[in-house]
Amino acid sequence: MSISVDPDWWRTLFDEIYLVTDKRSVADVNITRHEIDILGHILPLEPDARILDLCGGQGRHTLELCRRGFRNCTVLDYSRPLLSLGHGDAARQNLPVSFIQGDARSLAIDSASFDHVLILGNSLGYLADREADLQILTECRRVLSARGWLLLDVADGGAVRRQMTPNAWHEIDGEVVVCREREIREGCVCAREMVLRKSSGLVRDQNYRIRLYSADDLVALVARAGFTDIQQHDPQSASLARGKDVGCMQQRLLISARTP
Ligand SMILES: C[S@@+](CC[C@H](N)C(=O)[O-])C[C@H]1O[C@@H](n2cnc3c(N)ncnc32)[C@H](O)[C@@H]1O
């Protein structure tokens, strides 16, 4: 088996169908609340903090932060469909969130504009070029103020390597079936995703590739981007501090770092 992947897959995959295929993790408000609880244990968030949710999709984390009183939040993402959904949700809830379309490798944002940059929900490692993630982290450093905070939440590559099965499928709402065929190649997980609607047939047949990071690799990359005070956090102990289970953060690497 060799799953071939268009290097630009990430430009088209994140749309309304993705919100269905990944509904279990990205459309469950309880999971998002739990993730923000964990984040609140790690970052010293002041009420007026300027927060950038980079690769923030439909802004689920930012909307939750905003509901908790953090009113200076921006979501940046490449996907116009997700941004448009997030914009609609924010308007309906009367939440003052800015949504910006852009590429995380080159941000149209002034230097030192934010106190915190968040990259959550496994949003690194999509670009074929190995140096692209370094470019993204270097941009994070540039848009952060002095002693600003970066928080990365990325799948634990070691756990993925140990636990991944070559084939998996799940059903959503009794109507949609998501089948994934996967292999690990050149440090990446490559997958073919087929999405079928029982009533109407094939909805999507697309391949994607995500780079797998070990904790050491990710820490080294963050250091290369010029960050200091790099710390790895245990999602379990962060959440146990509030007596909750670890939910979808179980197989994650949570790394915080600061600008010099
Ligand atoms: C798995 S989703 C996670 C979204 C969000 N962080 C969450 O947890 O719900 C990954 C997101 O990263 C965005 N993305 C990937 N590469 C990007 C890039 N180079 N620039 C901007 N956004 C990007 C995608 O459009 C997608 O919305």
- Domain spans of the chain, in order of start: 17-157+213-258
Q: How far apart are the first and last CA of the chain?
A: 46
Please state, in angstroms and rounded to a whole number, the distance separating the CA atoms of residues 16 and 172. Answer: 14
pLDDT of residue 250: 55
- CB neighbours (10 Å) of residue 3? 15
What integer pLDDT is reported at residue 245 of this predicted model?
34
Positive/negative CA dihedral, 23, 26, 27, 28 = positive
The pLDDT of residue 24: 82
- Phi and psi for 256 in degrees, rounded to 5? -115, 155
So what's the pLDDT on residue 28? 87
| Successive 10-residue mean pLDDT values, the chain, 260 residues | 92 94 85 93 96 98 97 98 97 97 98 98 94 98 98 94 91 93 94 96 96 97 98 68 37 95
Q: Please say whether the structural domain 17-157+213-258 has been given the CATH code 3.40.50.150.
A: yes
**Residue ranges of the alpha helices (H) in the chain?**
16-21, 23-26, 29-42, 60-67, 80-92, 132-143, 157-163, 215-224, 235-240
- Is the CB–ligand 1 distance for residue 55 below 6 Å? yes
| Predicted pLDDT at 25 | 80
From the list 156, 15, 157, 131, the residue with the least C-alpha distance to 84 is 15
The SS3 of residue 90 is helix
Neighbouring CB atoms inside 10 A of 214's CB total 15
Cα of 68 from ligand 1 centre, angstroms: 23
Owner of token pair 């073919």: 192
Smallest CA separation from ligand 1 atom 13, residue: 55
* Prediction pTM value: 0.94
Q: What is the pLDDT of residue 123?
A: 96
**Whole-number pLDDT of residue 239:** 44
Ligand 1 atom at minimal distance to the Cα of residue 123: 10
